[in-house]
């Protein structure tokens, strides 16, 4: 911890809560610095200071792991693209949605969703975990709820399972698809790799279009249904352990 760290920031980063929540803890007298209640969040703390929340000693966690429900229209990147900047329009990225809470962290999305897609984005500054989740050899499954414009067919199910060959010759790994709705228009797709526009291109092979695409799980961790579009929360210890 460096000498210039503000107490409210230290509390928010170590508990992985927002700055607003950390200020609320401070004003309620829950935080002590060297055994003295401290309500002033702008005060700076140093490495030698012992900071406690409700009597529990806090340490700044090495990494941040956030589950975000990405809304449509937001880009899965750490910063806006040069092309957007050059064209003079503002582009909101997934990291913009959490920047206020983690202003000093270099967070990035571990895996992308198309701008129009929604759902589970894992934001972290842990490059090793991100690499492990994305490495082609690891085949970590990603689960999606997809609305298609023509009902699911047997040909799609067997074609996806066999590993379809895309129009550009890319042979994909096998993927699972099953109907979630009686009309066969809402389906669940499980991918074991991440190729650009993969689901849209796979359905395109069967002349089916994708109207909506929502990621519901990464590996064994399901998107928390209480998170509204744009909301996020830290992964629980259990969720993080299951990803590792």
Point out which residues bind ligand URA (CB under 6 A): 113-114, 117, 197-200, 213
Q: Which residue from 115, 34, 121 is spatially nearest to 75, judged by alpha carbons?
A: 115
Residue 217 phi, psi (nearest 5):
-155, 150
**How far does Cα 19 stand from its chain's mean position?**
20
Which position among 35, 49, 82, 114 bears the catalytic label? 114
Give the Å distances, CA to CA, from 40 to 22, 52, 102, 103. 11, 14, 19, 19
Query: Residue 48 burial (CB < 10 Å; 0-12/13-18/19+)?
Result: exposed
The answer to whether 78 touches 107, Cβ cutoff 8 Å, is yes
How far apart, in whole angstroms, are the C-alpha atoms of residue 13 and residue 59?
9
Residue 9 or 142: the one with the smaller Cβ distance to ligand URA is 142
CA-based angle 3:7:10, to the nearest 5?
85
Minimum distance from residue 173 beta carbon to ligand URA (Å): 14
How far apart, in whole angstroms, are the C-alpha atoms of residue 18 and residue 23?
9
Phi-psi region of 184 (alpha: psi -120 to 50; beta: other; left: phi over 0): left
Minimum distance from residue 49 beta carbon to ligand URA (Å): 44
Minimum distance from residue 197 beta carbon to ligand URA (Å): 4
Minimum distance from residue 82 beta carbon to ligand URA (Å): 21
Minimum distance from residue 131 beta carbon to ligand URA (Å): 19
Per DSSP bridges, beta strands 210-218 and 118-124 are parallel
114 is catalytic: yes
The set of catalytic residues is 114
């Amino acid at each position: 911890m460096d000498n210039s760290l503000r107490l409210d920031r230290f509390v928010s980063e170590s508990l992985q809560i927002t700055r607003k929540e950390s200020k609320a803890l401070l004003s309620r007298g829950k935080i002590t610095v060297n055994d003295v209640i401290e309500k002033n969040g702008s005060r700076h703390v140093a490495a030698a200071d012992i900071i406690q929340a409700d009597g529990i000693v806090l340490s700044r966690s090495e990494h941040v792991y956030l589950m975000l429900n990405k809304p449509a229209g937001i880009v899965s990147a750490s910063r806006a693209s040069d092309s957007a900047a050059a064209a003079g329009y503002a582009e909101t990225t997934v990291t913009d949605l959490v920047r206020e809470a983690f202003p000093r962290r270099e967070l990035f999305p571990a895996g992308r969703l198309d701008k129009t897609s929604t759902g589970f984005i894992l934001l972290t500054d842990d490059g090793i975990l991100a690499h492990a989740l994305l490495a082609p050899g690891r085949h970590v499954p990603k689960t999606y709820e997809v609305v298609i414009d023509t009902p699911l067919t047997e040909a799609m199910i067997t074609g996806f399972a066999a590993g379809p060959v895309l129009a550009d010759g890319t042979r994909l790994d096998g993927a699972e698809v099953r109907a979630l709705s009686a009309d066969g228009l809402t389906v669940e797709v499980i991918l074991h790799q991440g190729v650009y526009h993969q689901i849209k291109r796979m359905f395109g092979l069967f002349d089916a279009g994708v109207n909506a695409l929502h990621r519901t799980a990464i590996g064994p961790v399901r998107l928390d249904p209480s998170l509204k579009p744009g909301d996020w929360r830290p992964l629980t210890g259990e969720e993080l352990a299951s990803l590792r």
